[in-house]
């Protein structure tokens, strides 16, 4: 293991079926600071998605009353850290497969005293299906997932009917589902899939996209470097906000 006591390369191993994945596992180049954070902090704030147990979220965050939001795909973690700081009463279970980002987010959490972040390493579908209890989550965030732009790769997109059908079973009534993308065709697919799920209700009376939530607390979304780069290229960003009935 590159980081003893840190995230596993393949946490679920052969315990679960092989299927088309919506992500590419990425170890990437880890800086000295990121590696140090992984070695020191993983045992405290990190977990591998092995699919072998159901998580007690109250125990995981040290507060049985704390609402927990699942964020899938956090990049380098800057936006996640901002959201955690703005809403310290909400736990963020942040799942990704990008090792440098995992180390970076752990470092940000430590430097900023953010005890409401936990970093999960591995397949978010296995996390939802095997490790999250029904109606355990207060929200789901999926910001700028891989758009898989080529038509032959559309089956790899995360926001599909089967994924949403699974996700809503893990959400409490009133939980907020917040998705965002700067890829127009994927935004259309997200809107179609989320609108078709009977357990979800669009927060927009016209049934369309939501205005970009101002970053002022739990419902906000800070500008990410990825989003800024897309805006510089002239991309339009679409937010989708749905509530679990």
- 168: phi > 0 → left, psi -120 to 50 → alpha, else beta; which? alpha
CA 242, CA 193: separation in Å to the nearest integer?
A: 11
Confidence of residue 223 (pLDDT cuts 50, 70, 90): confident
* CATH architecture of the domain with range 32-244: 3-Layer(aba) Sandwich (3.40)
Task: Express each pLDDT in 64-116 by its tens digit.
Answer: 999 999 999 999 999 999 999 999 999 999 999 999 999 999 999 999 999 99
pTM value is: 0.92
Q: Is 46 helix (H, G, I), strand (E, B) or coil?
A: strand
Task: Express each pLDDT in 12-49 by its tens digit.
Answer: 875 666 666 656 665 568 999 999 999 999 999 999 99
pLDDT at site 134: 98
**Cross-strand pairs, 142:** 179
The fraction of the chain above a pLDDT of 90, given in percent, is 79
Q: Is 222 helix (H, G, I), strand (E, B) or coil?
A: coil
User: Tokens at residue 227, please?
Assistant: 């989003």
**Tokens 């999926």, residue?**
142
**Tokens 């993983």, residue?**
42
**Cross-strand pairs, 94:** 71, 119
For the question of residue 146 being annotated catalytic, the response is yes
Q: Among residues 10, 96, 123, 146, which one is catalytic? A: 146
CA 202, CA 30: separation in Å to the nearest integer?
A: 40
């Amino acid at each position: 293991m590159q980081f003893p006591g840190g995230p596993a390369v393949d946490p679920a191993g052969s315990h679960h079926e092989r299927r088309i994945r919506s992500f590419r596992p990425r170890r990437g180049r880890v800086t000295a600071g990121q590696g140090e954070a992984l070695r020191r902090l993983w045992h405290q704030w990190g977990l591998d998605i092995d699919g072998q147990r159901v998580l007690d979220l109250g125990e995981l965050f040290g507060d049985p009353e704390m609402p927990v939001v699942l964020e899938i795909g956090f990049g380098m973690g800057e936006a996640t850290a901002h959201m955690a700081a703005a809403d310290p009463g909400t736990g963020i279970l942040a799942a990704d497969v990008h090792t440098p980002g995992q180390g970076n987010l752990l470092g940000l959490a430590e430097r900023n005293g953010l005890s409401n972040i936990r970093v999960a390493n591995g397949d978010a579908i296995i996390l939802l299906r095997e490790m999250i209890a029904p109606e355990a989550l207060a929200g789901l965030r999926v910001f700028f997932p891989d758009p898989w732009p080529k038509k032959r790769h559309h089956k790899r997109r995360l926001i599909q009917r089967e994924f949403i059908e699974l996700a809503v079973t893990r959400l409490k009534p009133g939980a907020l589902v917040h998705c965002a993308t700067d890829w127009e065709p994927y935004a259309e697919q997200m809107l179609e899939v989320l609108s078709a799920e009977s357990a979800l209700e669009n927060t927009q009376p016209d049934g369309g996209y939501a205005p970009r939530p101002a970053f002022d607390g739990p419902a906000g979304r800070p500008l990410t470097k990825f989003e800024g780069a897309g805006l510089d290229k002239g991309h339009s960003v679409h937010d989708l906000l749905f509530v679990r009935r």
